[in-house]
């Protein structure tokens, strides 16, 4: 479909006609031959001398060509555009950060897979987390891993393939043997500072209690609540473990979620963790804004180029020998 961005330009079409009709004629003085016996000559002929003018007549093709060139110029000024097919763009309406505990306790092989086989906790988490992240198409997702320290494994991005690849490359102990819940939350808050969307969700997954944070998890959660960050916490492991570092601090995880308006979930096998992600999908479904527009491609260069070409051809036709036509002259008193 062809449309005009400035259709008002077509009001200029009759402009040359109005100028020709109402504007004063162009006058130019030219040299003339003075005849000493001019009075005797005109008396002999029997005419009365007076001032006059020479008007150049134009041929019909010159009139038509001029009108066509002007029409093409006006059409170009009207900015013709070709309207393409509708294009729908999806932009994230929510930013999601997944913080995964990779402390030493995640090495224990007590995670029950779907076939009953026992897996390392981190491997089991990876298996269930992968399809969950694949379903976040259109959202910006970031990955944080934490142990003794918290690190950004992948910043907020819509490139989910890269996030999943970095998740698979993550291994137990890469960030130290201890657990820093508070630091992981603080790092997530800093990542959200660059976010321009209102929906901000942090999924915090841990199998131990906080033993290495410089900021307590509860204080970090309070700051997250002020920044409108909702935290969903997931406990994986044994809450009754004899080793304190390996014991899931259920009370702290519940307090973190409650402080930010989120929820706490507990999962110690693949089926339970998959069910948790299903609940998260229902609680916080994928948030994507769609924006539809039609691209416009300018066509103004076509009429302008054609007008230039016709003008050049007309000029060449007048300059070539044998092709120029002598303009008729009409003398007016």
Q: 226: which 2 tokens?
A: 């002020």
- H helix runs in the chain, sequence order: 15-22, 38-45, 60-77, 121-134, 160-169, 181-192, 217-226, 250-259, 270-283, 301-319
Chain segment 118-151, per-residue pLDDT in tens: 888 888 888 888 888 888 877 789 999 999 999 9
pLDDT of residue 326: 43
pLDDT band at 245 (very low <50, low <70, confident <90, very high): low
Instruction: Produce one character per residue of 13-34: b if its CB has 16 or more CB atoms within 10 Å, e if not.
Output: eeeeeeeeeeeeeeeeeeeeee
Chain segment 291-302, per-residue pLDDT in tens: 666 777 888 889
**Stronger pLDDT, 163 or 55, i.e. the higher one:** 163
Instruction: State the average pLDDT over residues 203-227.
Output: 88
Q: 280: which 2 tokens?
A: 């998260």
The label of the residue with tokens 């007048």 reads: 318
The mean predicted confidence, pLDDT, of the chain is 81
Q: Which residues contact 41 (CB under 8 A, 6 or more apart)?
A: 35
- Predicted confidence (pLDDT) at residue 90 exceeds the cutoff of 90: no
Give the three-state DSSP class for 241: coil
Give the three-state DSSP class for 112: strand
Question: What domains are there in the chain, each with its CATH number?
Answer: 2-84+296-332 (no CATH), 89-291 (3.40.50.410)
pLDDT of residue 100: 93
**Stronger pLDDT, 235 or 143, i.e. the higher one:** 143
pLDDT of residue 330: 46
């Amino acid at each position: 479909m062809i449309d005009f961005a400035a259709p008002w330009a077509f009001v200029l079409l009759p402009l040359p006609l109005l100028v020709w009709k109402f504007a004063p004629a162009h006058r130019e003085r030219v040299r003339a031959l003075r005849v000493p016996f001019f009075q005797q000559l005109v008396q002999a002929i029997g005419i009365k001398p007076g001032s006059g003018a020479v008007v150049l007549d134009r041929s019909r093709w010159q009139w038509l060509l001029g009108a066509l060139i002007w029409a093409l110029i006006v059409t170009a000024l009207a900015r013709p555009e070709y309207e393409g097919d509708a294009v729908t763009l999806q932009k994230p309406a929510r930013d999601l950060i997944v913080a995964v505990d990779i402390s030493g306790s995640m090495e224990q092989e007590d995670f029950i897979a779907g076939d009953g086989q026992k897996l390392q906790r981190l491997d089991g988490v990876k298996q269930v987390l992968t399809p969950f992240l694949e379903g976040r198409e259109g959202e910006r997702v970031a990955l944080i891993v934490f142990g003794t320290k918290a690190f950004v494994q992948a910043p907020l991005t819509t490139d989910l393939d890269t996030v999943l690849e970095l998740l698979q490359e993550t291994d137990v102990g890469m960030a130290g043997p201890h657990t820093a819940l508070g630091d992981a939350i603080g790092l997530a808050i800093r990542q959200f500072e660059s976010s321009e969307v209102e929906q901000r969700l942090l999924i915090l997954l841990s199998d131990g209690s906080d033993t290495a944070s410089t900021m307590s998890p509860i204080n970090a959660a309070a700051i997250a609540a002020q920044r409108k960050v909702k935290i969903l916490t997931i406990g994986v492991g044994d809450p009754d473990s004899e080793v304190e570092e390996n014991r899931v601090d259920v009370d702290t995880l519940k307090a973190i979620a409650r402080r930010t308006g989120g929820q706490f979930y507990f999962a110690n096998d693949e089926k339970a963790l998959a069910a948790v992600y299903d609940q998260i999908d229902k609680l916080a479904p994928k948030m994507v804004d769609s924006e539809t527009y039609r691209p416009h491609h300018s066509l103004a260069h076509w009429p302008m180029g054609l007008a230039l070409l016709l003008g050049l051809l007309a000029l060449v036709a007048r300059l070539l020998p044998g092709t120029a036509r002598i303009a008729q002259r009409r003398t007016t008193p």
